């Protein structure tokens, strides 16, 4: 039986009303979107329902701010100082932002506070990169030639973010675009827009000029479609499902916009007999149930050596039973609510399908009735094979699939036998084994004897249908630039026609 923390009703909380940010002004929409807290079952936020006209106004404001405004022409130091002020203001309002992310997404409050700390670090890191963005020079091209390569801000960037990490993911994109000198139109998920709208207040207070950051709320078909097709948008940075990523790429192709996509994952942890099982078991439970499994980096596939599979699965189940599921606002909670009733039903469908295909439910497998909201029990499926949907498709819930292998070659084959390639893990005391897996598994990040660690300095992104491009790391700012070559001739030029 999983440990439960029953939700308390939000009887003393008054739903918060928000407005969109367009050209430095807060504006209403044509309608209202109400957000029901997934962990408490009551309305907690109301956002404007943005329209195509709102999106066009926001893009026009960003275009004008880029073409005529001061932001792209500021020195790197000036932009850096504003981003540092923003980081300080985010830190000062971290509790407010974490609370909003918790009630709107259903994630545990302790986790949300940790994410805010990570976001502040990213903003400070991006601020440092604003001063370090530079081009190249070539004085080796001959006596009469000097080559200079400039890096210039790409222009207007549409940033579209998902519901599972509302503040953290916008922080993996927006500060780097701003550091490069771009102007932006940001659309958070219509399920979790609150903290991004508060970020708009913070950026205005920090000194970001009007029109540089515009924040729209609304649906993808109404607002996102304009942001991904409009000819005045130069680049799209999108995080979300692979299916919507394909649509975004198709939309961008109409005007050949640059596209950065961070999409789905079906991430394996490969475990060899010589692994430290105590450490692995803890990492397996964390990797599967962090953020209720609603995480592109979730370690949702365990690929265990046959000789240890039964013991490891039993130990994982024993620890998973102690995981506290329930009220997102309780500091003791480790697994919060599922984002919507429809998504909870989808997760249950994957479990049912796996059972019908021959897998066994070793733990959980059912929705939990805790009186308020929607919750899913931490689930373990054993006897999973590579051809099952639950082993190939992103469930995006607290469901762990256990597969087995006998040889290193078989483990690599199983790990790579999917369309995704976001991250992976390998557990072994033998560094040769870890390095072999690290080089052969096709994933953007491979953790060795740990899982889901990260730092602002390390690039993040995937292979294949997990996306295009990389976020974070020292080159993140460069993603939001174009390169321009200046080819300079010194002295008299050779007369071509008179040779």
Active site residues: 262, 296
Residue of 73, 62, 68, 71 whose CA lies nearest to 232 = 62
Q: Which residues of 470-490 are buried (b: 16+ CB within 10 A; e: fewer)?
A: bbbbeebbbbbbeeeeeeeee
> SS3 for 35?
strand
Return the DSSP state at 397.
Answer: S
Q: Strands 183-187 and 156-160, how do they pair?
A: parallel
Cα–Cα–Cα angle for 423, 289, 109, nearest 5°?
A: 110
Calculated CA dihedral for residues 112, 117, 122, 128, nearest 10 degrees:
160
Calculated CA dihedral for residues 175, 177, 181, 186, nearest 10 degrees:
-90
Q: Which residues of 386-408 are buried (b: 16+ CB within 10 A; e: fewer)?
A: eebebbebbbbbbbbbbbbbeeb
User: Can you point out the beta strands (E) in 189-290?
Assistant: 213-215, 235-239, 258-262, 268-271
> SS3 for 20?
strand
Residue of 17, 133, 7 whose CA lies nearest to 475 = 133
Residue of 252, 76, 269, 270 whose CA lies nearest to 176 = 76
**CA 435 vs CA 83, 128, 416, 438: distances in Å:** 38, 32, 16, 5
């Amino acid at each position: 039986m999983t440990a439960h923390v029953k939700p308390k009703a939000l009887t003393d909380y008054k739903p918060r009303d928000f407005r969109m940010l367009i050209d430095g002004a807060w504006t209403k929409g044509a309608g209202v979107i109400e957000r029901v807290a997934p962990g408490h079952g009551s309305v907690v936020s109301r956002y404007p329902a943005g329209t195509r006209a709102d999106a066009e106004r926001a893009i026009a404001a960003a275009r004008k701010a880029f073409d005529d405004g001061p932001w792209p022409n500021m020195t790197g130091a000036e932009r850096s100082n504003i981003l540092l002020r923003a980081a300080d203001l985010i830190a000062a309002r971290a509790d407010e932002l974490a609370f909003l992310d918790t009630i709107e997404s259903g994630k545990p409050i302790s986790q949300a506070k940790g994410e805010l700390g990570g976001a502040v670090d990213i903003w400070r890191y991006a601020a440092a990169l604003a001063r370090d963005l530079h081009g190249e020079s070539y004085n080796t091209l001959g006596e009469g030639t000097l080559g200079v390569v400039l890096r210039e801000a790409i222009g207007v960037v549409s940033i579209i973010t998902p519901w599972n990490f509302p503040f953290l993911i916008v922080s993996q994109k927006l500060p780097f675009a701003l550091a490069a000198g771009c102007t932006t139109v940001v659309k958070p998920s219509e399920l979790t827009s609150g903290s991004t709208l508060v970020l708009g207040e913070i950026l205005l207070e920090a000194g970001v000029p009007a029109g540089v950051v515009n924040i729209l709320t609304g649906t993808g078909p109404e607002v996102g479609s304009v942001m991904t097709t409009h000819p005045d948008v130069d680049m799209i940075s999108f995080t979300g499902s692979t299916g919507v990523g394909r649509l975004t790429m198709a939309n961008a192709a109409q005007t050949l916009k640059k596209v950065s996509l961070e999409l789905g994952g079906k991430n394996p942890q490969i475990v060899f007999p010589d692994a430290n099982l105590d450490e692995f078991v803890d990492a397996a439970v964390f990797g599967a149930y962090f953020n209720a499994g609603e995480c592109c980096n979730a370690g949702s596939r365990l690929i265990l050596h046959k000789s240890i599979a039964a013991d490891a699965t039993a130990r994982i189940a024993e620890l998973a039973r102690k995981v506290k599921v329930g009220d997102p606002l309780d500091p003791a909670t480790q697994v919060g609510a599922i984002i919507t009733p429809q998504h909870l039903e989808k997760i249950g469908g994957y479990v049912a399908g796996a059972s019908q295909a021959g897998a066994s439910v070793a733990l959980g497998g059912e929705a939990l009735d805790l009186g308020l909201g929607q919750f899913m029990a931490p689930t373990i499926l054993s006897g999973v094979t590579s051809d099952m949907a639950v082993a190939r498709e992103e469930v995006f819930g607290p469901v762990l699939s256990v597969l087995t292998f006998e040889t290193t070659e078989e483990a690599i084959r199983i790990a790579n036998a999917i369309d995704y390639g976001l991250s992976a893990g390998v557990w072994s005391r033998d560094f040769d084994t870890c390095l072999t897996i690290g080089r052969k598994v096709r994933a953007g990040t491979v953790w060795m004897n740990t899982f889901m660690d990260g730092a602002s300095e390390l690039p993040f992104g995937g292979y294949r249908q997990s996306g295009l491009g990389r976020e974070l790391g020292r080159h993140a700012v460069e993603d939001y630039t174009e390169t321009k070559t200046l080819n300079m001739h010194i002295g008299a030029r050779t007369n071509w026609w008179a040779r």
